[in-house]
Amino acid sequence: MSKVFLKGVLTAFLGAVLTCGSAFAADTIKIGVPGAHSGELASYGLPTLNAVNLVADEYNAKGGILGKQVEVIAFDDACKAEIATNAATKLISDGVVGVIGHICSPAGKAAMPLYNNAKVISISGSITAPAMTLSGENPYFFRTVANDTASAIVGAGYVINNLKAKKVAILHDNSEYGKGYAEQAADYLKKNSDIEIVLFEAITPGAADYSSVIRKVRRVDADVLMWGGYYPEASKLLSNMNSLDAVIPMIGPDGLKDLGFVELAGADAENVYASGPTDTSSNPVSKYYAEKHMAKYGSTPGAFFDNAVSAALALMNAIEKAGTTDSAKVIDALHKEEIETAVGSIHFDEHGDAVGVGMSIYQIQNGQYVEMK
C-alpha cells in the first residue's frame, strides 16, 4: 500500500471524524448558566439555574427547539470577575448559543468582552449596572430586570416621600454595583429634596466588624441609612447598629431582597427596606413556574427566579422565532418579538433592556418581604 494512498485514507478518515464531531456538537442547543451556585451568594445564583432547567424541561418535553433538545450547561463563577472570565471561556468553547447570566454585575462586566467577541448572547435576570446596556459596548447583552438607576430612584423616592428623612447616611461596598446604587441615590436626593447627606463612605467588604463606621452614622445624627451592596455586609452593619443603639431605618437595593438575608441577619433584618422587581406572583406564568419549582425542587423559588424564567423564555422563544441560532437573527427577534413571561409581557429596547419590567420597595415584616404601596 503506497504512502500516497495511506495519506489519502487518513485525510478522508480525519475529515469524517471532524464532520461527525461537528454533527454531534450540533445535536443539542446548548445554553450556559454561569452564576454563584455555591457559597454565600448561592441564593442569588441557584434560582436562576433552576429557572433555566425548568424552562428547558418544558421545551424538551415538547420536542425541543428547531428539532433539537436544549442542553443546560452550568458553571459556578461565585460572582467573582476572575472566575467569570474562565466561565465564559469554557462555555464558549463548549459551543453555547446563549447564556442566561451572569448573576452579579462585576462578573458580567468581566465576561462580556468574551461573549461580544464570540457573538454569544447573554441575558441576565439580575445584573443591574446601567452601563452594561447604556454604554453601547455590549451589543450581545440583554436583561430582564430594571437597572440600578431605577432601583436607586425608587429607594431615594421612598426616603423622601415615605420615610420623610432630614439627614441621610449613605454607605456602600465600593463595588460597581453598590457604589453605583449609592451615587445614583445621592444624586437623586440632591436634585429632588432638601435632605442633607451627612455621610457618604465606602466600607471594606469582608471585615469582621463595622462598628467604627456605625459610630460615625450615630455622630452625624442620620435618621436613615441607605446601603449600596449585598446582604452579607448589610447583616453585619445591622448587628453593629443594634449593639451601638443606632437603630434607624435601613434601605438598600435588590441585593437585600433575598431570604438569605433574612436567615443571616435574623431579627436584625426586621423592618429593613429593599428595592426589588415588582411583585408578579399573581402572573399566570409566574404561578406556573413556581408550581413547577416546588414539584421539582421541593421549595419555593428564590431571588430573581421570575426574571431568570423570563430571560430563558425570551432566549428560547427568539431562537424558535428566528428559525436559527445565528446571533444576529436571534437578536433581531429579541427586539421585535413580544413574549408573555413571568414578569409580564416584554420585549427588549435598542439598548437591551426589557420593556415592561418594574421596580418596587419592600419591607421585611415578620421575616417576609411585603411590597409597599
| DSSP-derived secondary structure for 282-328 | TSHHHHHHHHHHHHHHSS---TTHHHHHHHHHHHHHHHHHHTS--HH
Q: What confidence tier does 1 reach under pLDDT thresholds 50, 70, 90?
A: very low
Task: Quote the pLDDT of residue 139.
Answer: 97
Task: Quote the pLDDT of residue 13.
Answer: 39
Q: What confidence tier does 18 reach under pLDDT thresholds 50, 70, 90?
A: very low
pTM of the model: 0.77
Q: Does residue 154 register a pLDDT over 60?
A: yes
DSSP string, 233-297: HHHHHHHHHHHTT----EEE-GGG-SHHHHHHHGGGGTT-EEEEEPP-TTSHHHHHHHHHHHHHH
To the nearest whole percent, how much of the chain has pLDDT over 90? 84
Q: Does residue 15 register a pLDDT over 90?
A: no
pLDDT tens-place string over residues 193-226: 999 999 999 999 999 999 999 999 999 999 999 9
Task: Quote the pLDDT of residue 26.
Answer: 62
Helix (H) or strand (E) holding 199: strand 196-202
Question: What residues have CB less than 8 Å from 261, skipping those under 6 apart?
Answer: 231, 234, 235, 269, 272
Fold of the domain built from segment(s) 29-147+281-358: Rossmann fold (3.40.50)
Q: Does residue 7 register a pLDDT over 80?
A: no
CATH 3.40.50.2300 boundaries in the chain: 29-147+281-358, 149-277+360-371
Pick the CATH number of 149-277+360-371 from 3.40.50.300, 1.20.120.1460, 3.30.365.10, 3.40.50.2300: 3.40.50.2300
